[in-house]
Amino acid sequence: MDTFLFDSIIVGPIHSRRLGTSLGVNLLAPASKLCNFNCIYCECGWNGAHGEGAFNPYEKVIPALEAKLKTMSEERKLPDVITFAGNGEPTMHPDFDRIIDATLALRDRYAPATKIAVLSNATMIDREAVRKALLRVDRNILKFDSAIDATMRHINQPRNDRTVARIIELLQEFQGCLVVQTMFLRGDYGGHHIDNTTPEEVEAYLDAIRRIHPSEVMLYTIDRNTPADDLQKVSYEEMEAIAARIRKLDMDIITSVAR
């Protein structure tokens, strides 16, 4: 299926089904993707499909963001959230922590009611600077698509050999100051049938959520074109049934299901 890449540093604002009116910040260069996952559902397509990716430098990102926030402030049309996502994994940026600090200062100056969110695949959270930066934002949203190693590797296709057990350990270090975001899907890819909604998957997932104890869990499914062709959406009703089981954990976890 056709996928897309963001062609600028500042994206939108757009309406996000999870975050409201979102002003996107793309730390990865236009027209190429740079990520250490190669998720079969990624809206940006496969790694390397458009050449080698690169980073938008700090010296371009912060002036572009300030100019946009200044204009939106003057027009009194400020966003609900400034969201770091874009053409790959934002926390890979070598100046990620510095960019977050500058963004916080700009937010406080132009849009004090606006939240700052980061959508991350959680691969860089073993780096102290990244972890501390994520703890400074309002919504630290980290991917966790399966609690079973084989399924995680089939869905996310990581470039390292990190295990689910290690990912859970690292997520626990946030001591609840994180949002877990999970993509539910099923389909066939690479000679494997993939389904992270089976009873075995859900039981392992619930145990992981119990151990991670995030402040919030976001469940969603495919909404846009994916690079792997034979993937199917999971119904709202199926995801809501999983969400209901999370709510029964009695751990004060806010749980939402995207339609």
Quote the radius of gyration of the chain (alpha carbons, Å): 18
How far is the C-alpha of 253 from the C-alpha of 36, rounded, in Å?
29
Q: Which of 49, 25, 24 is nearest to 35 (CA)?
A: 49
pLDDT computed for residue 223 by the predictor: 84
Query: According to the model, what pLDDT value does residue 103 have?
Result: 97
Supply the pTM of this predicted model.
0.91
In a 10 Å sphere around its CB, with 0-12 CB exposed, 13-18 middle and 19+ buried, how is residue 73 labelled? middle
Q: What per-residue confidence (pLDDT) applies to 47?
A: 66
- Alpha helices by DSSP H, listed for the chain, are 58-74, 96-110, 128-136, 149-156, 164-172, 199-212, 236-247
How far apart are the C-alpha atoms of 211 and 171, rounded to whole Å? Answer: 9
Q: What is the pLDDT of residue 207?
A: 96
Between the alpha carbon of residue 57 and those of residues 4, 29, 33, the distances in Å are 22, 9, 15
Please, what is the end-to-end C-alpha distance for the chain in angstroms?
A: 21
pLDDT at 177: 95
Query: What would the two tokens of residue 173 be?
Result: 């270090």
Q: In 3D, which of 101, 112, 95, 117 has the Cα closest to residue 20?
A: 117
- Bridge partners, residue 15, by sequence: 21
> Do β-strands 179-189 and 139-143 pair in parallel, antiparallel, or remain unpaired?
parallel
The three-state DSSP-derived secondary structure of 152-199 is HHHHHCCCCCCCHHHHHHHHHCCCCCCEEEEEEEEEEECCEEEECCCH
Residue ranges of domains in the chain, CATH in brackets: 10-257 (3.20.20.70)
Q: pLDDT tens digits for the chain (259 residues)?
A: 455 556 678 887 777 766 778 898 999 877 777 888 889 898 876 766 555 667 889 999 999 999 999 998 999 889 989 999 888 899 999 999 999 999 999 999 999 999 999 999 999 999 999 999 999 999 999 999 999 999 999 999 998 888 999 999 999 999 999 999 999 999 998 889 999 999 999 999 999 999 999 999 999 998 888 888 889 999 999 999 999 999 999 888 999 998 7
Angle at alpha carbon of residue 33, lines to 24 and 40, rounded to 5°: 100
Taking alpha carbons only, the member of 135, 155, 136, 137 closest to residue 145 is: 155
